[in-house]
Amino acid sequence: MDEKNTKKMLSAAKKRWKDTTLQQTLTKNSERIKSFHNLSNKEITTLYTPDDIHKDDYLANQNFPGQFPFLRGIHPNLYRGRLWTMRQFAGFGSAEETNQRYKYLLDHGETGLSVAFDYPTLYGYDTDHPCARGEFGKCGVAVSSLKDMEILFSGIPVDTITTSMTINGPAAIIWAMYIANAEKQHISKKINGGTIQNDILKEYIAQKSYIFPPEPSMRLIVDTFEYGFKEIPRWNTISISGYHIREAGSTAIQELAFTLADGLEYVKAATARGLDIDAFAPRLSFFFNAHNDLFEEIAKYRAARRIWAQELKKMGAKKDRSLLMRFHTQTAGCSLSAQQPEINIVRVTIQALAAVLGGTQSLHTNSMDEALALPSEKAVRIALRTQQIIAEESGVTYTVDPLGGSYYVEWLTDMMEEETYRYFDRIERLGGVIPAIEKGFFQREIAESAYRYQKEIDNHERIIVGVNDYQLDETIGIPILKMDEKGEERQINRLKKLRKNRDNQKVRERLDQLRKAAEKDHNLMPFILACVKEYATLGETCQVLRDVFGEYQELAIY
């Protein structure tokens, strides 16, 4: 029997089941709610069968892990060969305090570092800048100079441990500090491995910690691409981030579509400069959110791999390495509740499981207390143990893409891919990613989704355990991390001492060389590296680029 007739028979059988078996049950006992919708507001039906998926397409496209279009994973044996990198996002207060936390995590089984920076650092300000006062170390570690970077990684083997750094506007400068510190430890650039987030388009869309306008920002990103594949071949020079898009309130579909659209925009910018796609594409990486809807998240990761491979191939990539979507995942901070914080452990476990079943290469699990404060040692240890239990005890690592072939998961995957391409078409009609940002398209889409989701919670249409149902009158107390209150004062004194003892004539010369290079079309990475090696501070180096490029001002769009 051919495929067409088989699908007709399946469809007819499914209709008979709905009209008889299902209907008899519904007549006696109605369902809990009128209709079931996932977090992307797509209605989910009672049952999925082979006639719901593009079975002929599924079979025609190989769909073996490690083979194009990589739907089922980028590695043929995935976690049977090597577990994902367990990389807990951490950073608070001073470089000394954060260095202690990194050593604690490594001692307890973490296999990669992930640096959170404070807001002054994210905006390219030194700790003693007036705009930085009162914000020192509150949401990450303060790094104002190479001296701070040296302290941050003191006693840590950066030749064997990879480091991911969540930094965007000043990413090139922070990366230069990391490179300079590794060189001081006599570590070759050829073995220096890690990731800088470096995703400025996402900043304009969601997180808003941008500095420069789009054009010079894209120039800096392409500079890092070019410098990276020539000088530091093991470094991922961008982590294209959907995480913050989701945290801002997007749906899973919007996260997928907007992240991939940003990624394709970076590829276009690099190829427009004349860079060979097969030279830089293998070092592009991604960063996704893992939210509460287990199957939707798994389908998102599967669809992401297939779309990326297809689109890079269309853009001229010839090597398999260029087509692979490698991604880090972090569980959803926005899903955590301050109420009954211990139950966040359960949320994080479900989210982490989705990331692993979806084939992530790297994972951070949030701590139960993050809706209240920076994570305590106990909370971060439990979060790390969550990953370790999934890895060592659950059995989900024994086979690749264990949910592949599930009618529901395949339907979700196909649906998310189709919806992503619809968004691509809308973005293209607006003139591309940057014009769409300037017109407020992404921002409005996210705001509308966030508003709908909050209304569902407020109207009791969506239950959040402990928040709008299953509440407790009493407050559950848990230990809260206390930062060193004198850390900011010590950091400012260190900056004063640094500026006094360095060779200020050389600093001025290097900054002037950077200014002249920025006014022309040179790759700026060598000039930035020369500045930070002389202990020019983050703020001083960033100010040179502010003077040349200007600062981005978002237009009012609402």
What the block records as the tokens of 22 is 């299902």
What local confidence, expressed as pLDDT, does residue 62 receive?
Answer: 66
What local confidence, expressed as pLDDT, does residue 434 receive?
Answer: 97
Is position 20 within any domain? no
User: Domain check: are 123 and 201 in the same one?
Assistant: yes
- How many structural domains compose the chain? 2
Under 8 Å CB-to-CB from 340, ≥6 apart: which residues? 465, 466, 472, 476
Beta bridge partners of 166: 116
User: Domain check: are 418 and 522 in the same one?
Assistant: no
What local confidence, expressed as pLDDT, does residue 2 receive?
Answer: 66
User: Domain check: are 177 and 279 in the same one?
Assistant: yes
User: Domain check: are 200 and 277 in the same one?
Assistant: yes
User: Domain check: are 515 and 425 in the same one?
Assistant: no
Is position 257 within any domain? yes
Which residues span the domain enclosing 504? 499-549
pLDDT confidence band for 365 (50 / 70 / 90):
very high
Is position 480 within any domain? no
Query: What is the chain's mean pLDDT, rounded?
Result: 94
Instruction: Give the residue-averaged pLDDT of 293-299.
Output: 98
Is position 122 within any domain? yes
252: left (phi over 0), alpha (psi -120 to 50) or beta: alpha
Dump pLDDT digits (tens) for 126-180.
Answer: 999 999 988 999 999 999 999 999 999 999 999 999 999 999 999 999 999 999 9
User: Domain check: are 198 and 313 in the same one?
Assistant: yes
Instruction: Give the residue-averaged pLDDT of 241-265.
Output: 98
Asked if pLDDT for residue 87 goes beyond 90, the answer is: yes
Is position 68 within any domain? no
Q: Please, are residues 371 and 335 in contact by the beta-carbon 8 Å criterion?
A: no
User: Domain check: are 449 and 329 in the same one?
Assistant: yes
What local confidence, expressed as pLDDT, does residue 60 receive?
Answer: 62
User: Domain check: are 533 and 416 in the same one?
Assistant: no
375: left (phi over 0), alpha (psi -120 to 50) or beta: beta
User: Domain check: are 451 and 512 in the same one?
Assistant: no
Is position 69 within any domain? no
Dump pLDDT digits (tens) for 59-84.
Answer: 666 689 999 999 999 999 999 999 99
Give exposure, 423-451, as e/b (b: 16+ Cβ within 10 Å): bbeebeeeeebbebbeebbbbebbbebbe
What local confidence, expressed as pLDDT, does residue 480 receive?
Answer: 79
Is position 30 within any domain? no
Dump pLDDT digits (tens) for 16-50.
Answer: 999 999 999 999 888 888 889 999 999 999 999 88
User: Domain check: are 315 and 370 in the same one?
Assistant: yes
What local confidence, expressed as pLDDT, does residue 59 receive?
Answer: 63
More confident residue, 475 or 308: 308
User: Domain check: are 147 and 206 in the same one?
Assistant: yes
User: Domain check: are 433 and 531 in the same one?
Assistant: no
What local confidence, expressed as pLDDT, does residue 63 receive?
Answer: 83
Percent of the chain with pLDDT over 70: 97
Residue 144 DSSP SS3: coil
Is position 41 within any domain? no
Q: Please, are residues 189 and 171 in contact by the beta-carbon 8 Å criterion?
A: no
CA dist., res. 498 & res. 528, Å (int): 18
Percent of the chain with pLDDT over 90: 88
Instruction: Give the residue-averaged pLDDT of 427-432.
Output: 98
Tell me the CATH number at 356.
Answer: 3.20.20.240
The CB density around residue 177, as the number of other CB atoms within 10 Å, is 29
Q: Please, are residues 144 and 491 in contact by the beta-carbon 8 Å criterion?
A: yes
Q: What is the largest CA-CA distance in the chain?
A: 86
